[in-house]
Chain A
Amino acid sequence: GAVVSQHPSWVICKSGTSVKIECRSLDFQATTMFWYRQFPKQSLMLMATSNEGSKATYEQGVEKDKFLINHASLTLSTLTVTSAHPEDSSFYICSARDTAKGGGEQYFGPGTRLTVT
């Protein structure tokens, strides 16, 4: 089956520093990847859609200058949380669509738990 990995699985950083999270599709190519954020006991919230070779599309209310997304290849997208603050502590999850399939199903990574102290 289609596998999506994320690295790191968890990270603790100090307030004001930046953190980069990687999302990789391991056995398929993904023209489109998605980044979500999930706070405790809440549902997933879509942050942005990442398209290979072009600028990401951010959802309303998500600061593009704070959450930098790069999708430089068909198997890798990165999310950089710049100048992180404690309120950015959350569970960040990426997903990817298999470009070869037309069904639209997304395959999710295991998530990255970010804690900002």
Chain B
Amino acid sequence: DAKTTQPNSMESNEEEPVHLPCNHSTISGTDYIHWYRQLPSQGPEYVIHGLTSNVNNRMASLAIAEDRKSSTLILHRATLRDAAVYYCILSRSGGSNYKLTFGKGTLLTVNP
């Protein structure tokens, strides 16, 4: 499986934008870029995913580099409820598995 690299931790202030980076230099053409987040003692929550083009949804935006070797999850206005571990995961399309391999993720702290 292609691997991703994320910073161990990041800090942000409430109501400011947050840019969470992810490097995936060995990504293949059929790999989707997924982002999930996990609050303490809860199951992960789907945030966003994309293949080549930038994506927006109600939770966040995903900016994908032109060569697809990196991406950035953007939270436009961080709130205290956004404090979580954020996972950037590559998942191969097709087939019946769509397995997700979780790395260590980035622990985001949001300061009031």
Contacts and interface: CB of A to CB of B under 8 A. Distances in A.
Interface of A: 4, 6, 31-32, 34, 36, 43-46, 49, 51, 57, 91, 93-95, 97, 103-111, 113
Contact of B93 (A43, A57, A95, A104): A104
Contacts of B41: 91, 111, 113
A109 B46 CA distance: 11
Contacts of B96: 31-32, 51
Contact of B99 (A31, A34, A93): A34
Nearest to A31: B96
B43 A109 contact: yes
Given A32-B97, A93-B44, A111-B42, A104 B34 contact: yes
Interface of B: 32, 34, 36, 38, 41-46, 49, 87, 91, 93, 96-105
Contacts of B102: 36, 43-46
A57 B99 CA distance: 11
B97 A49 contact: yes
Contacts, number: 62
A103 B43 contact: no
A33 to B, nearest CB: 11
Contacts of A113: 41
A16 B45 CA distance: 33
The 5 closest A-B pairs by CB, nearest first: A108-B43, A104-B98, A44-B102, A43-B102, A93-B43
B44 to A, nearest CB: 5
Which one of B32, B41, B43 has the highest number of Cβ atoms from chain A below 10 Å of its Cβ?
B43
Contacts of A32: 96-98
Nearest to B87: A43
A104 B32 contact: yes
Nearest to B93: A104
A56 to B, nearest CB: 11
Q: Which of A45, A95, A106, A113 neighbours the largest number of chain B CB atoms within 10 Å of its CB?
A: A106
Contacts of A110: 42-43
Contacts of A91: 41
Contacts of A93: 43-44
